[in-house]
Amino acid sequence: MIRIILIDDSTVYTAAFRHFLANKKDLSLIGNAGFDEDINELVSRLRPDIIFLAIPYHQKKALLIAEQLLNCFPGIKIICSGINLVNAAITRLLNAGCSSYINKITEPVQMEEIIHTVFNDPISVEYQMTINKAIYLKGTRIHPDPL
């Protein structure tokens, strides 16, 4: 069972993420928090395998949260998710130690594959990008080549 915490202020995305995980036997949403909550306490108490960090329009706050989590919990795996972030912001998140970035509109099958890849595989420092869907994963291409 892969234990996941979602960090996002959007109640709509949180509900959609819960729905996505509802029928997955090997994925479990064990907690969620907004950006103004005590995220470190939640992570310390629940000990997730993966943190799903939604990136709001205020990207600096998310980067600070990611860096803080990675410093406090070495080895934690963070998948970042946002809408149309620029390459520089994604590069900063990956260089800070996040395992992956995906677009919030990623298809559920691809999202599930990314979660399993991040959970199971050691990730290298390099990443690749796919056009349109903007799925980044250090060292691994997840989405098939676009048409």
pLDDT tens per residue, range 107-133: 888 889 889 988 987 554 333 344 334
CATH of the domain at 47: 3.40.50.2300
At 87-114, the pLDDT tens digits run 778 888 888 888 888 888 888 888 898 8
pTM for the predicted model, two decimal places? 0.82
Residue 29 covered by a domain: yes
**How many domains is the chain partitioned into structurally?**
1
Task: State how far the Cα of 101 lies from the Cα of 71, in Å rounded to an integer.
Answer: 19
Residue 22 covered by a domain: yes
Give pLDDT, residue 136.
52
Sequence-separated (6 or more) residues with CB below 8 Å from residue 136? 90, 94, 100, 101, 102, 127, 128, 129
